[in-house]
Amino acid sequence: MSPPRTRTRTRPSRLHQEPEAVTWAREKAGLTKRALADRVGISEQLMGEIESGWRSATPANLAKIAEALNCPLVALERKRPTGPAAPEPAGQ
């Protein structure tokens, strides 16, 4: 008999949202995770995973979150570097 398999969970490599921004905007709006999840049409568990960075919000759900929080979508989106990449430290 083989040993039971364990599932390891990894965070997504790319998030569409800034988790801290979603949490801040939700709290500023005076909503619980459950209330926001209900307005968006997702589970409270998924809302928590979006806020913690364990799951990436789909672009459609992120737009719904922004609308429910009455904030601009850009305030919740993950910031992407636009300039040249920072140079690697020398000698390491």
CA distance linking residue 74 with residue 63, whole number of Å: 9
Residue 39 is predicted with a pLDDT of 97
Which residue would you say has higher pLDDT here, 84 or 50? 50
Residue 84 is predicted with a pLDDT of 61
CA distance linking residue 90 with residue 92, whole number of Å: 6
Residue 89 is predicted with a pLDDT of 54
What structural domains does the chain harbor? 19-72 (1.10.260.40)
pTM: 0.75
Say yes or no to pLDDT of 70 above 70. Answer: yes
Each residue of 34-53: pLDDT tens digit? 999 999 999 999 999 999 99
CA distance linking residue 40 with residue 31, whole number of Å: 12
